[in-house]
Amino acid sequence: MLAVYAARQDRDNPLSGLVVGDQPAPAPRTGWSIVTLRAAGLNHHDVWSLKGVGLSADKLPMILGCDGAGVDETGREVIVHSVVASDGWAGDETLDPGRTLLSELHPGTLAEQVAVPSRNLVAKPEGMPWETAACLSTAWLTAYRMLFVNGALQPGALTPGATVLVQGAGGGVATALIQLGAAAGLRVWVTSRDEVKAARACEIGADRAFGSGERLPERVDAVMETVGAATWSHSVNSLKPGGSIVISGATSGDAPTKAELTKIFFKQLRVVGSTMGTRAELERLAQFVQQRGITPVIDSVMPLARAREGFEHMVSGELFGKVIFTVS
């Protein structure tokens, strides 16, 4: 079958190990389902895998991809939940020490077919476009958990009208945070180094956009942080006393010049880590998107055979929203 896979890894030139070609189709397995994919999404996780982060070299070649939607063996239209828990694990699968994402231990979704535990399938809402469904499993699920699960841990936090700052304006998680936050009645502010992306962020639901590191007119209730070192001090300084930083990534590095510990304890700030989401949260996310009529921002749609173009676009840093591959 046609698949997009990592044949080798190179931190400095990750796309040198990317191959679009034939790989074996998944074999039937007890307790697992085979999904014939209709669309699949690209994530930064796929690029990191090509760099050698999160994917062991002894697992190569590995089919990439965490986002996908398609049809199972019974003809049911489904969305694939990519967090695979250990055998026998009960409860929140994101807390399972042995959890993996598709494409780390088991082949991923950038292929004509993917095998997943049957419990990992979520029914696609009737009428939802395949391209929308293929956006939800990773970046959108991450954003949903950041806002509505980990962002709401503090009593009274993130109720309609609360102000949320999203650091960075263009990636899949950032655009999802903007659209989900706006749909929930939050006041969403964003930062960006790119004036064009900042303007587009306002078009999709952000109330205001600021330059990276710019002083805000008032402090915010929560900061959604995915950039890391480059924006950390700004995130801490932007919060009201008792506010929260929810962090799910560190694309600029994980070692800020200043940890800002004094400000964190003196202002009684909360720092909450957030990783992906549960199957139940993915189900709620899909319903929320459908009921609110949200159309995820998609940068580009292309056939799976042209996947290298999508990867090149992501690595360039020029994309705004998701890259989606149509499969069949």
Rounded to an integer, the average pLDDT of 202-209 is 96
Distant-in-sequence, close-in-space partners of 262: CB < 8 Å, separation ≥ 6: none
Rg, C-alpha atoms of the chain:
19
pLDDT > 80? residue 41 = yes
Please, where in the chain does CATH 3.40.50.720 lie?
A: 152-273
Q: Are 248 and 275 in contact (CB under 8 A)?
A: yes
Q: Which range among 93-102, 154-163, 251-260 has the greatest average pLDDT?
A: 93-102
Q: Are 71 and 121 in contact (CB under 8 A)?
A: no
Rounded to an integer, the average pLDDT of 162-184 is 93
Structure tokens that stand for 52 in this block: 């050698």
Which of 21-25, 113-117, 195-199, 308-312 is predicted with the least confidence, judged by mean pLDDT? 195-199
Look at strands 163-167 and 220-225 and give their pairing. Answer: parallel
- Three-state SS for 283? helix
Q: What percent of the chain has pLDDT over 90?
A: 90
Banded model confidence at residue 170, pLDDT cuts 50, 70, 90: confident
Structure tokens that stand for 68 in this block: 């996908």
Banded model confidence at residue 153, pLDDT cuts 50, 70, 90: low
DSSP code at position 227: S
Residue 326 pairs in a beta bridge with 39, 303
Question: What is the pLDDT, as a whole number, of residue 148?
Answer: 93
Rounded to an integer, the average pLDDT of 174-202 is 95
pLDDT digits (tens, 9 = 90+) for 115-146: 999 999 999 999 999 999 999 999 999 999 99
Helix locations, 12-147, DSSP H: 44-51, 130-133, 141-145
110 backbone dihedrals φ, ψ, rounded to 5°:
-85, 70
Question: What is the pLDDT, as a whole number, of residue 67?
Answer: 96
Residue 70 pairs in a beta bridge with 37, 78
* b/e sequence 60-90, b meaning 16+ C-beta within 10 Å: eebbbbbbbbbbbeeeebbbbbbbbbeeeee
Helix locations, 108-241, DSSP H: 130-133, 141-145, 172-183, 195-203, 232-237
Q: Does domain 2-138+277-326 have CATH number 3.40.50.1370?
A: no
DSSP letters of 8-26?
A: S--SS-GGGGEEEEE-PPP
Helix locations, 120-169, DSSP H: 130-133, 141-145
Q: Does domain 152-273 have CATH number 3.40.50.720?
A: yes
pLDDT digits (tens, 9 = 90+) for 26-36: 999 999 999 99
Question: What is the pLDDT, as a whole number, of residue 43?
Answer: 94
Question: What is the pLDDT, as a whole number, of residue 156?
Answer: 60
Nearest to 81 by CA among 285, 302, 234, 268: 285
Distant-in-sequence, close-in-space partners of 94: CB < 8 Å, separation ≥ 6: 83, 145, 275, 276, 277, 278
Banded model confidence at residue 71, pLDDT cuts 50, 70, 90: very high
Question: What is the pLDDT, as a whole number, of residue 172?
Answer: 87
Banded model confidence at residue 157, pLDDT cuts 50, 70, 90: low
Question: What is the pLDDT, as a whole number, of residue 234?
Answer: 97
pLDDT > 90? residue 323 = yes
pLDDT digits (tens, 9 = 90+) for 214-224: 999 999 999 99
